[in-house]
Structure 1
Amino acid sequence: MASTGGGFLLGFGLCLLLMSLLMGFGVIEVYREFERYASEIKTLYDTTHSSAYQLTLRGLEELGGIAGRIRDGLCHPLISWMGLCGAGERLAETTNNAARWMREIQYTSERLYYTYEALPTIMYSLGILAIIGLVMIIGGIALIIRARRREKRTSSST
């Protein structure tokens, strides 16, 4: 039984060690790339979470709701002869698109910033998993050796 448990610990520990090391190398490469753009990521996050950006975004979202009514007014049959319907369509489409893109830029900046902030923690976690894998390997080898010694003792005593 100890031999089976030792084999499990050895195999699982080896798998854990290899996976954490491979993932660790990948995370380190990603972190190095993020480091090159750290100031831009921070600036983008600060800009998209500033009060001026929030006010502009809210204003565009409100204007998007009003732009539809402006478009309806400009396309009204009484003034359709002025040819302003196309301008109303473009106004409604542009304001809605601008608000949507500003919101998307804000979400993207959050994802970039929080990913950049989380990468060091992920690296430390993977390092701890590698150490746990090593401990499991050592424990598995110790259990296998102990089981083999017991087998030799029991076979030599009979």
Structure 2
Amino acid sequence: MSREQMKVRLAAATPGPWAASPYIVYGEQDDTERVRVTSQHDSPDYNTAEMVLPKDADLIAYAPTDLAKLHAALDAVEALHRPIQEDFITALPCIREECECENECPTEPLPVCRHCWGQLEQIDPYFGEQHHVSEVMWPCPTFTAIRDALGEDQ
């Protein structure tokens, strides 16, 4: 399930706010307390989830708000961690500074994470010339962790 599909489902749900109100179900074996979860949105389609256990009611009532906040947070992180192309010196003699290219060493564009690359460039402007760049290659560890946690293939 992609994040876009999750957002579509969230947008299609009855708008909030939602609320949970307790009531007792009499006549059952244990007169168990249950909760009714309702949308407080002014809508002709009055939505109710009844017979919900109290421990589940808050989850259901707050899910739309919580999901919207989580999506906004992930959108912010993903806006920072985007692929860009950076030119890297590829010839081994040039990398070792054993060439006579006079600042004309051959380069190749490689995909890196814009944010990760920018952070390392701030720390060390010569990072790309002195170190392996695997830490900033796209997809970066941050983007990969989000994708893997959500079970997304892309």
TM-score (norm 1): 0.38
Flag the structure with higher helix content: 1
The structure that has the greater radius of gyration is 1
Flag the structure with higher strand content: 2
TM-score (norm 2): 0.39
Taking CA–CA contacts closer than 8 Å with sequence separation of 6 or more, which of the two structures ends up with the larger relative contact order? 1
